């Protein structure tokens, strides 16, 4: 193999050519930064020891040699690195098709059926839990069914899949009809699809809602794929979408002891230009205070988005069963409920907040991605 490997020292990059397959190109600074020797890495963890900013700007190889299975570089900073060809190929960034994209989300509409999972299979860990995490990653929503209808069970469940994030509400928040309650959720009114806690600069990215009793007439649950609604708006009216990424909206939410407040655009994009965070909470938005000429364009954009979200094309409506535990990705999927009639039956929900990253951290372990990144050095 080494004989057939052609190595070309270019001005700032190394060109690696095999008889077949694409040509690969690596910057010298990138290669030097990713040296796998014991001096450059903590051996037991693969964490970097080399200080990236200490690499000289004029770093380049004195020599590069092809050897069995890889290459050896002697650098002009008197250092030696080896790289296996397998590692270089796996980490090649010079092919557009190989650049790491965000993991795919599957967008859905009003005809979507929320995936359901058995409680025992999820709390057991293993394949059942992985399937649940996969659904939350892909669809942003899942139901765990037959969760014991015992107060506090939602917190016990939360501990098996991540960590509870405490917010201004109680650690385990109760939702039932309460004429003294501090939040619209404590009334029997309809709750339009919304995201929770927009009044935090980082709203909780997972919400668990456990239905201890859902026997009152009405009170059907509603979920909407917010990212799908935004994709439709972006397609139909890119200017309106853009306005929603830019116009700051203040939000306030209070409990008996705390008053939370944040200002943020409804839509925040990630480094890839795709939606990362979506705030949609009609009930918690305070009066906007923005450039005078932006007021009507903002309301026009909001109206167009609100009509998409509040349409039958977008809303999945279902009556949750006692023991259902609904999981939603709080930066993506909106939740709501139809009005219910007090006095027609018990209605008691408990919810906790969590973080999507913690879900994905456990998922990576279940996927077998749990060890230090494999070494790129030649063995
Ligand atoms: Fe809510
Ligand atoms: Zn090194």
Do 203 and 310 sit in the same domain of this protein? yes
pTM equals 0.92
Answer whether 350's CB lies under 8 Å from 210's CB: yes
Q: What is the pLDDT of residues 276-286, one digit of tens each?
A: 999 999 999 99
Do 40 and 157 sit in the same domain of this protein? no
* Separation CA 305–CA 104 (nearest Å): 23
The reported pLDDT for the residue numbered 98 is: 57
Please name which of 107, 142, 139, 114 lies closest in space to residue 128, comparing C-alpha atoms: 142
Do 76 and 176 sit in the same domain of this protein? no
CA of 106 to the centre of ligand 1 (A): 23
Residue 183 lies in a domain: yes
The reported pLDDT for the residue numbered 35 is: 97
Do 48 and 127 sit in the same domain of this protein? no
Q: What is the pLDDT of residues 213-227, one digit of tens each?
A: 999 999 999 999 999
| Domain coverage including residue 27 | 2-99
> In Å, what is the CA distance from 281 to each residue of 124, 251, 305, 309?
35, 8, 12, 12
Do 212 and 88 sit in the same domain of this protein? no
Please name which of 208, 202, 197, 204 lies closest in space to residue 172, comparing C-alpha atoms: 208
Q: What is the pLDDT of residues 291-343, one digit of tens each?
A: 999 999 999 999 999 999 999 999 999 999 999 999 999 999 999 999 999 99
Residue 111 lies in a domain: no
Give the pLDDT mean for 69-73. 96
Tell me the ligand closest to 43's alpha carbon.
2
CA of 41 to the centre of ligand 2 (A): 7
Q: What is the pLDDT of residues 226-261, one digit of tens each?
A: 999 999 999 999 999 999 999 999 999 998 899 999
Do 257 and 123 sit in the same domain of this protein? yes
CA of 153 to the centre of ligand 1 (A): 19
Residue 275 lies in a domain: yes
Tell me the ligand closest to 376's alpha carbon.
2
Give the pLDDT mean for 15-34. 95
* Separation CA 256–CA 356 (nearest Å): 27
Give the pLDDT mean for 74-99. 89
pLDDT at 1 over 70: no
Do 62 and 15 sit in the same domain of this protein? yes
Do 123 and 84 sit in the same domain of this protein? no
Residue 133 lies in a domain: yes
CA of 83 to the centre of ligand 2 (A): 11
Q: Which helix (H) or strand (E) holds 164?
A: none
Residue 185 lies in a domain: yes
CA of 56 to the centre of ligand 2 (A): 14
Domain CATH for 197: 3.60.130.10
Give the pLDDT mean for 18-45. 94
Answer whether 117's CB lies under 8 Å from 145's CB: yes
Residue 244 lies in a domain: yes
Give the pLDDT mean for 112-120. 98
**Near ion ligand 2, which residues have CB within 5 Å?**
35, 37, 39-40
**Domains identified in the chain, total number:** 2
Residue with tokens 């397609």: 235
Tell me the ligand closest to 193's alpha carbon.
1
- Number of other CB atoms surrounding residue 147 within 10 Å: 24
CA of 96 to the centre of ligand 2 (A): 28
Sheet holding 325-329, edge to edge: 116-118, 141-145, 325-329, 206-214, 347-354, 173-175
Residue 220 lies in a domain: yes
Last residue within a domain, chosen from 70, 99, 128:
99
CA of 237 to the centre of ligand 1 (A): 28
- Tell me the DSSP string of 170-233: -SSEEES--TT-SSGGGSSS-EEEE-S-TTSSS--SEEEEEEEEE-SEE--EEEEEHHHHHHHH
Do 131 and 17 sit in the same domain of this protein? no
Sequence-distant (6+) residues with CB within 8 A of 134 are 363
For the ranges 42-46, 158-162, 247-251, the lowest mean pLDDT is seen at 42-46
Do 220 and 135 sit in the same domain of this protein? yes
Last residue within a domain, chosen from 50, 74, 99:
99
Last residue within a domain, chosen from 73, 99, 125:
99
Give the pLDDT mean for 91-117. 86
Give the pLDDT mean for 47-62. 97
> In Å, what is the CA distance from 100 to each residue of 65, 273, 373?
29, 14, 16
Q: 83 by DSSP, 3-state: which?
A: strand
Tell me the ligand closest to 82's alpha carbon.
2
The reported pLDDT for the residue numbered 251 is: 98
Q: 324 by DSSP, 3-state: which?
A: coil
The reported pLDDT for the residue numbered 215 is: 95
Do 213 and 321 sit in the same domain of this protein? yes
CA of 34 to the centre of ligand 2 (A): 8
Residue 60 lies in a domain: yes
Q: What is the pLDDT of residues 350-368, one digit of tens each?
A: 999 999 999 999 999 999 9
Residue 372: pLDDT band with limits 50, 70, 90: confident
Answer whether 162's CB lies under 8 Å from 365's CB: no
Domain CATH for 60: 3.30.2020.30
pLDDT at 72 over 70: yes
In the chain, % of residues over pLDDT 70: 98
Sequence-distant (6+) residues with CB within 8 A of 201 are 262, 264
Do 228 and 359 sit in the same domain of this protein? yes
* Separation CA 136–CA 162 (nearest Å): 13
């Amino acid at each position: 193999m080494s004989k057939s490997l052609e190595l070309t020292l270019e001005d700032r990059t190394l060109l690696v050519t095999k008889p077949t397959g694409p040509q690969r190109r690596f910057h010298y600074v990138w290669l030097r930064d990713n040296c796998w020797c014991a001096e450059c890495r903590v051996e037991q963890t693969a964490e970097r020891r080399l200080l990236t900013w200490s690499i000289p700007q004029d770093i380049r190889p004195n020599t590069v040699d092809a050897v069995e299975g890889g290459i050896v570089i002697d650098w002009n900073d008197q250092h030696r690195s080896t790289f296996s060809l397998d590692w270089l190929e796996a980490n090649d960034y010079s092919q557009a098709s190989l650049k790491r994209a965000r993991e795919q989300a599957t967008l859905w509409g009003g005809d979507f059926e929320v995936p359901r999972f058995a409680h025992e299979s999820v709390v057991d860990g293993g394949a059942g839990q992985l399937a649940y995490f996969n659904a939350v990653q892909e669809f942003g929503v899942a139901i765990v069914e037959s969760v014991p209808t015992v107060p506090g069970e939602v917190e016990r469940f939360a501990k098996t899949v991540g960590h509870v994030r405490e917010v201004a509400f109680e650690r385990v928040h109760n939702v039932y009809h309460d004429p003294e309650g501090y939040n619209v959720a404590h009334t029997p009114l309809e709750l339009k699809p919304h995201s929770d806690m927009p009044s935090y600069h980082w709203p909780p990215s997972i919400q668990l809602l456990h239905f201890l009793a859902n026997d009152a007439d009405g009170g059907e649950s509603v979920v909407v794929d917010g990212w799908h609604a935004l994709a439709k708006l972006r397609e139909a009216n890119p200017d309106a979408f853009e306005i929603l990424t830019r116009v700051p909206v203040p939000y306030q939410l209070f409990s008996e002891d705390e008053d939370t407040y944040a200002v943020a655009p409804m839509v925040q994009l990630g480094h890839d230009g795709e939606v990362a965070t979506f705030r949609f909470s009609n009930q918690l938005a305070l009066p906007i205070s923005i450039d005078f000429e932006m007021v009507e364009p903002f309301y026009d954009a909001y109206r167009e988005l609100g009509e998409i979200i509040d349409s039958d094309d977008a809303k999945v409506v279902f009556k949750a069963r006692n023991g259902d535990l609904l999981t939603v990705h709080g930066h993506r999927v909106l939740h709501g409920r139809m009005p219910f009639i007090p006095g027609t039956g018990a209605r008691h929900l408990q919810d906790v907040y969590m973080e999507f990253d913690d879900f994905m951290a456990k998922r990576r372990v279940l996927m077998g991605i749990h060890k230090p990144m494999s070494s790129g050095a030649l063995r």
